């Protein structure tokens, strides 16, 4: 039992419990050596007695501690103290992605928010995969989101060590089985594509607010992952473009061959899924069958009896099986055998003719009528008429319908690209589609006052390609002041902008962390006004010293994030009183010396 004030390994002092799970309990602790707050995860007692699990836990937790990425919670230490196996990691102030979703209408996020979170998630998981580490338990409960929108992936190490035992842990499976890939549910080994499947399910949940597969128990949900097709995300949320649904379809394929080869491919698709030229692309179709045949049926062996023999070599079980089928084989007379052989020869001849005909159709005739392959010329930058002329001269046909797309490189009326692309070798006479530029994408600035700056920053930066800066501005702080609400914008509503243009969003300059009262030379009066503003109780201790000027702030008890209702203590320098004056006391020895000196002088005279 871990209690408040207890020290783990004589270093990590427990402050309070911040979470309990089926596999481990999490505590807020203070590292007394480095004087910083950490989160310490301590393995539950039932798993702490399994030596095999402990070895895997230690080995894989140490491997995860080597990860260093802004979207992965940093691991500091792993060890054991009096039977308590623990992992020490970075303490993240924020909420889980699950808690964040519950505060939204219908539990769903905006498309831009979901894409931003998935871009961070895939970036972090790609870094882990590059280090040969698979998470294996990705879910919203294992992802923290901070106030600035940055996410942190947690539970590396424990999630990996649970691969062989999690299906026996009832409490944990119900938390993870909703994101469990089919191959992992069927007991096969884990690969990087398991994490890709879990991220696809998580992406679905972010956009719809619901899970695609539900059931009364873990086994029922796991079977649905293995057998049932994924419900359409666009039916649940019609505002989702086809490009995003394609990402989910590809990530959540039952057959791992149909999924992304790695997380970087998924990250690249997320980077461009909101581009106008890909949003309405065709629905993704799997190149391989989703349900490959895993089992084959064996047929019973039926032995032929000789006519004059009654000996039976089958076992009793084989006899019963044969009798139940009602099948039997009799000896065939010799005449019938000869007729049967003739039939075999005829069928063999027919089969040979069929094979010969197929060879003519598949190999000989095509080689005689083969159309040569030629490369598609690069006509980008030409006018549509000039491009058509070049393509016709090369021997291609040109699609009468010219597609129009936005381009920052080519002016309106110029060719941006062709489909198939320039440089590809294709059959002569194949149809080429020309894509004509309609110029730069433009966007009209709206009124963003009062809106969340994180959402607007993501929209303007990721979707419209603007250079977005966020600056704080001093305003009168009231109870209604929203620290993340936009109070001013540099461009007026109605301004027309294009990719690369700059805009500044202003938010209130609200203190979210304690200032450095000592080095910034705050006065006691200023600190008192500050504490009243942020609803913090102030206590003042005066220290008599001659090292600081009277009234100088020597130290403060709190730093970091401000929490309402707590107490802040400051130490203020106070002038030392002067020591009292003491009257001098005559020295008898000095008097005697003076008298002796006088006597000597008289004698000399």
Q: Which positions are annotated as active-site residues?
A: 137
User: Residue 455: phi, psi to the nearest 5?
Assistant: -65, -45
Q: State the Cα–Cα distance between residues 128 and 340, nearest whole angstrom.
A: 66
Instruction: Compute the residue count for the chain.
Output: 605
- What's the angle, vertex CA 367, arms to CA 366 and CA 371, rounded to 5? 75
Distance from the Cα of residue 518 to its chain's centroid:
40
Q: State the Cα–Cα distance between residues 149 and 568, nearest whole angstrom.
A: 29
Q: Which residues is 411 bridged to in the sheet?
A: none
Dihedral sign, Cα of residue 247, residue 249, residue 252, residue 258: negative
Rounded alpha-carbon distances, angstroms, from residue 46 to 123, 129, 172, 176, 532: 35, 30, 13, 19, 49
Q: State the Cα–Cα distance between residues 97 and 145, nearest whole angstrom.
A: 6
Output b/e per residue, 302-338; b: 16+ Cβ within 10 A: eeeeeeeeeeeeeeeeeeeebeeeeeeeeeeeeeeee
| DSSP letter (8 states) at residue 360 | I
Give yes or no for a contact between 24 and 142, defined as CB atoms under 8 angstroms apart. Answer: no
Angle formed by the axes of helices 242-251 and 263-272, nearest 10°: 170
- What's the angle, vertex CA 485, arms to CA 482 and CA 489, rounded to 5? 145
Q: State the Cα–Cα distance between residues 56 and 157, nearest whole angstrom.
A: 9
> What DSSP string describes 2-20?
--TT-EETTTEEEEEEEEE
- Three-state DSSP class for residue 452: strand
Element (H, E) at 420: none
3-state helix, strand, coil in the chain (%, to 5): 35, 20, 45
């Amino acid at each position: 039992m871990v209690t408040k004030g207890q020290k783990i390994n004589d270093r990590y002092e427990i402050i309070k419990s911040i979470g309990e799970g089926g596999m481990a309990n999490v505590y807020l602790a203070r590292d007394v050596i480095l004087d910083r707050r950490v989160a310490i995860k301590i393995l539950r007692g039932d798993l702490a007695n399994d030596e095999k699990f402990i070895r895997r836990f230690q080995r894989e937790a140490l491997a995860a501690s080597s990860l260093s990425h802004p979207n992965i919670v940093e691991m500091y230490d792993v060890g054991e103290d009096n039977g308590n196996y623990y992992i020490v990691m970075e303490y993240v102030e924020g909420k889980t992605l699950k808690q964040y979703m519950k505060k939204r209408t219908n539990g769903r996020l905006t498309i831009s928010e979901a894409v931003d979170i998935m871009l961070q998630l895939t970036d972090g998981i790609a870094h882990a995969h590059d280090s040969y580490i698979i998470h294996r338990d990705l879910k919203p409960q294992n992802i923290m989101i901070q106030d600035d929108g940055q996410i942190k992936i947690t539970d590396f190490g424990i999630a990996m060590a649970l691969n062989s035992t999690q299906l026996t842990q009832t409490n944990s499976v119900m938390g993870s089985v909703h994101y469990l890939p089919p191959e992992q549910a069927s007991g096969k080994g884990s690969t990087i594509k398991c994490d890709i499947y879990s991220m696809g399910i998580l992406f679905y949940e972010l956009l719809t607010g619901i899970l695609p597969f539900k059931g009364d128990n873990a086994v029922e949900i796991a079977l649905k992952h293995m057998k049932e097709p994924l419900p359409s995300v666009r039916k649940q949320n019609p505002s989702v473009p086809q490009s995003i649904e394609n990402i989910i379809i590809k990530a959540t394929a039952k057959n791992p061959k149909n999924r992304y080869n790695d997380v970087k491919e998924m990250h690249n698709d997320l980077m461009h899924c909101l581009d106008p030229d890909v949003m309405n692309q065709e629905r993704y179709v799997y190149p391989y069958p989703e349900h490959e045949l895993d089992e084959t049926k064996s047929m019973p062996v039926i032995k032929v009896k000789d006519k004059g023999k009654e000996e039976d070599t089958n076992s009793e079980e084989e006899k019963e099986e044969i009798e139940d089928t009602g099948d039997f084989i009799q000896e065939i007379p010799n005449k019938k055998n000869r007729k049967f052989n003739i039939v075999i020869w005829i069928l063999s001849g027919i089969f040979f003719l069929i094979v010969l005909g197929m060879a003519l159709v598949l190999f000989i005739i095509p080689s005689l009528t083969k159309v040569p392959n030629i490369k598609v010329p690069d006509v980008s930058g030409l006018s549509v008429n000039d491009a058509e002329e070049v393509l016709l001269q090369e021997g291609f046909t040109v699609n009468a319908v010219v597609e129009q797309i936005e381009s920052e490189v080519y002016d309106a009326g110029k060719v941006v690209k062709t489909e198939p692309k320039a440089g590809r070798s294709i059959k002569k006479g194949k149809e080429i589609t020309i894509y004509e530029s309609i110029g730069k994408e433009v966007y009209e600035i709206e009124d963003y006052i009062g809106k969340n700056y994180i959402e607007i920053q993501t929209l303007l930066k990721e979707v419209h390609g603007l250079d977005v800066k966020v600056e704080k501005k001093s305003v009168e702080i009231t109870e209604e002041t929203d620290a993340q609400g936009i109070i001013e914008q540099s461009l007026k509503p109605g301004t027309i902008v294009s990719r690369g243009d700059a805009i500044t969003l202003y938010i209130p300059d609200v203190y979210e962390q304690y200032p450095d009262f000592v080095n910034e030379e705050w006065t006691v009066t200023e600190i008192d006004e500050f504490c009243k503003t942020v609803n913090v109780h102030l206590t003042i201790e005066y220290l008599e010293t001659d090292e600081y000027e009277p009234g100088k702030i020597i130290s403060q008890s709190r730093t970091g994030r401000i929490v309402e209702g707590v107490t802040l203590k400051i130490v203020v320098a106070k002038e030392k009183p002067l020591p009292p004056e003491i009257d001098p006391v005559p020295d008898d020895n000095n008097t005697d010396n003076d008298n002796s000196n006088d006597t000597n002088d008289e004698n000399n005279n």
